[in-house]
Chain A
Amino acid sequence: MTPRPSVVEISNGAAIRLIAGREISTRVRSKAFVWTTVALVAAVVLGGVLLHFVGQQSDSAQKVGVTPEASGVAEQLVALGSVTGTTIETQEVASAEAAEPLLKDGTVSAVVTGTDPLTVLVHTELPDALAPVLGSLAQQEALSSAVTDLGGDPGEVGREIAQAAADVTALEPEPERDSAQVVAGFVAGILLFISLMTAGQLVAQGVVEEKSSRVVELLLATVRPWQLMAGKVLGIGVIGLTQVVLVVGAGAGTAALLGLVDASSINLGVTALWVIVWFVVGFTMYALALAALAALVSRQEDVGSVTAPVMTLMMIPYIIGISIAPWDPTNPLVVVLSFVPFCAPMLMPMRIALGEVAPWEVALSLGLSLALIPVLVWLAGRIYSNAVLRSGGRIKLKDALTAS
């Protein structure tokens, strides 16, 4: 006689938790999941670090050395720099000989060694940003000589010329677009696309795995179809959410630590939170749709074709999102699609990151998506339940919907 342990009837919640728990432990143990997560986290951290250095280089001032023979041009250099949009810092250098080591180790990019004619010493070549400044300076020096010859004050003339600039009035001024916002919008769009795509595919493959291995028959002898579907969607959702939180956290953390974003132009915490919220909403919708469609086929080879419509649906907002939204967040196509369920989960967080959205817009878009979810639950539950035990060929969507 064998031991007969006490058996209790399991509740809906317990069954779903068990099923979700299996999904989670299976995925967490899979190398593919671990490495994808590591790669994504590494990508955002490295991306942030790279951005930090690129930003530093373009923003940092050009250092120009000035020997005593040329000390008179220091002031003019700074003034010319500000007109051409280059910040210039000058530094006294004792002589041309003393300038050599400073040029070689990069302390200064160029050293002005003489003014008549203007002579400049560089290490390998003149930085692009300095070329117009030094060009103007040479012209001014030539002008000064002429002014002196005519008996004027070259210093006075030089200063006035250096500061002269056209006064431009824009009819429709372009709003100041912070590069941090563009990057955040990009990252939000790409991250949501990748995570929704991967998590959605895991759901579809998981459903078909159970069908093709026939284990579904054993499972459905003890749990209800909707419990099995709910547990699977929940388990993979938790896994996907963990991945998104890790990546978003790593990205936002890197950005905050390196001071990549200007707190006045983008609220990093709020943007990160919205990305996570929209992942949950988007995943729920896509997972339900994909679980239902995947239940129609019995072989892994057929998953691709049966889920193609939904995958295409996912591509549309993504492509529009990353190709238009960062440059033109108020583009009508972007704005309209950001309210449409299935498109909203990618476009709305991008618009939020780009800072071009009113709170009521976010609320409306979220409300529309949330309102569709119960309909999807009902539809997916029906299709899944009717199709999951039928093996063999591909089942028509219509049959799965109408069969009782």
Chain B
Amino acid sequence: MCGMGALTMESLHKTYGEVRALRDLSMEVRAGEIVGFVGSNGAGKSTTMRIVLGVLEADSGEVRWDGRPVDLAVRQRIGYMPEERGLYPRMKVSDQLVYLARLHGLNPSSAKAAMEHWTEVLGIAERRGDEILKLSLGNQQRVQLAAALVHSPEILVLDEPFSGLDPVAVDVMSGVLREQADAGVPVLFSSHQLELVESLCDRVGIIKSGSMVKFGGIEELRRTDDRRWVVDGPPASTWITAVPSAHLVSAQGTRSVVEVRGQAADAVDQEILRAAMAAGPVHEFGLLRPSLTELYRHVVTTDVTATDRETVSA
């Protein structure tokens, strides 16, 4: 059982020839939390994970577990799912999982028990005797997850564990990740499925061109200085002038979106509601918070500016 450790990546730099793959990337995954790692292809997610696993060496920076640099002994206790899936194509599922468990230090009987447990949990118990290449892609993916879990890792690092999974398998995978996190395992995974990340993760890191541009709790990231409300009622053009700090962002039929910029936003919501109700009946009134998808779009489409970088160490 692991303690209250945290996996820390500090100021990672990596350059491939002319390409700067990582620039001063830092993040932390605490015990028991799920951290989602999002960013466009080539942003540096896989590079970061490979550096954590030691299959790639950073030019500078450090990865620590429980405050100590991650060495081979620690790496043997990480469960890893590489971006490029990889298992021996002509080896049976059971043999493969037992072999990997033993390479991570389990004795033969524990390795067999772990193989049986995880094939059962992941719904591939009937395929134990089959060679990997005979399985469907979805089942290969389940075996890949089993391979990451079979040695009861203390840390999980999964590169796009959800890609190519059917909805049922997504639920199984989400359940397993939650269970692992609840057991105290820090879980870091990357994904392009932002709704999934939003619902599953405690914290999210958004990476762009090798830099972490946003990192924090979902709620924290969604909270912005400029606030927007949606009002379903009389057209905003008829009452917006009653609230001097507010301005209209968009209007569609009876639905208007109004925005208040800056610190003044805190107490202004009641003022807006009153102004709207004075003009006519209001059917819906709510704070409009950006979804992770919107945040992500905003981040990846704007240039990384100096101010953006300053928010990194959230």
Q: Is the CB of A3 within 8 A of B117?
A: yes
Which among B35-43, B72-80, B194-202 touches the partner chain? B72-80
In A244-269, the 8 Å CB interface with B consists of: none
Please indicate the chain A residues that have their CB under 8 angstroms from the CB of B274 in the complex.
Answer: none
How many chain A residues touch B (Cβ–Cβ < 8 Å)?
Answer: 31
Partner of B103 from the list A4, A6, A15 (CB cut-off 8 Å) is A15
- The answer to the question of A177 belonging to the interface, with a C-beta cut-off of 8 Å to chain B, is no
Interface 1/0s, chain B 100-112, versus A by CB < 8 A? Answer: 1011111100100
- The answer to the question of A358 belonging to the interface, with a C-beta cut-off of 8 Å to chain B, is no
In A7-25, the 8 Å CB interface with B consists of: 7-10, 15, 18-19, 22
Closest to B132 in A: A213
Q: Is the CB of B106 within 8 A of A5?
A: yes
- The answer to the question of B19 belonging to the interface, with a C-beta cut-off of 8 Å to chain A, is no
- The answer to the question of B69 belonging to the interface, with a C-beta cut-off of 8 Å to chain A, is no
- The answer to the question of A165 belonging to the interface, with a C-beta cut-off of 8 Å to chain B, is no
Which among B26-34, B50-58, B163-171 touches the partner chain? B50-58
Q: Is the CB of B114 within 8 A of A218?
A: no
How many angstroms from the CA of A359 to the CA of B80 in the assembled complex? 55
Interface size class of B (residues with CB under 8 A): 35 or more
- The answer to the question of A75 belonging to the interface, with a C-beta cut-off of 8 Å to chain B, is no
- The answer to the question of A168 belonging to the interface, with a C-beta cut-off of 8 Å to chain B, is no
- The answer to the question of A166 belonging to the interface, with a C-beta cut-off of 8 Å to chain B, is no
Q: Is the CB of B102 within 8 A of A18?
A: yes
Nearest CB on B from A260, distance (A): 41
- The answer to the question of A389 belonging to the interface, with a C-beta cut-off of 8 Å to chain B, is yes
- The answer to the question of B84 belonging to the interface, with a C-beta cut-off of 8 Å to chain A, is yes
Please indicate the chain B residues that have their CB under 8 angstroms from the CB of A9 in the complex.
Answer: 73, 76, 105
- The answer to the question of B267 belonging to the interface, with a C-beta cut-off of 8 Å to chain A, is no
Please indicate the chain A residues that have their CB under 8 angstroms from the CB of B80 in the complex.
Answer: 218, 221
Nearest CB on B from A206, distance (A): 10
Q: Is the CB of A217 within 8 A of B82?
A: yes
* Most A C-beta atoms less than 10 A away, residue of B88, B90, B91: B88
Nearest CB on A from B216, distance (A): 28
The 30 sampled A-B contact pairs (Cβ below 8 Å) are A1-B183, A3-B113, A3-B152, A4-B152, A5-B110, A5-B114, A5-B152, A6-B107, A7-B76, A7-B77, A7-B104, A7-B106, A7-B152, A8-B105, A10-B104, A10-B105, A18-B99, A18-B102, A22-B99, A26-B90, A210-B88, A213-B86, A214-B86, A215-B86, A216-B86, A218-B80, A218-B82, A218-B100, A220-B55, A222-B100
Given known contacts A2-B180, A221-B80, what 16 new A-B pairs fall within 8 Å (CB)? A3-B114, A3-B152, A5-B106, A6-B107, A7-B151, A8-B105, A9-B73, A10-B105, A213-B86, A213-B89, A218-B87, A220-B55, A221-B54, A222-B76, A389-B55, A389-B56
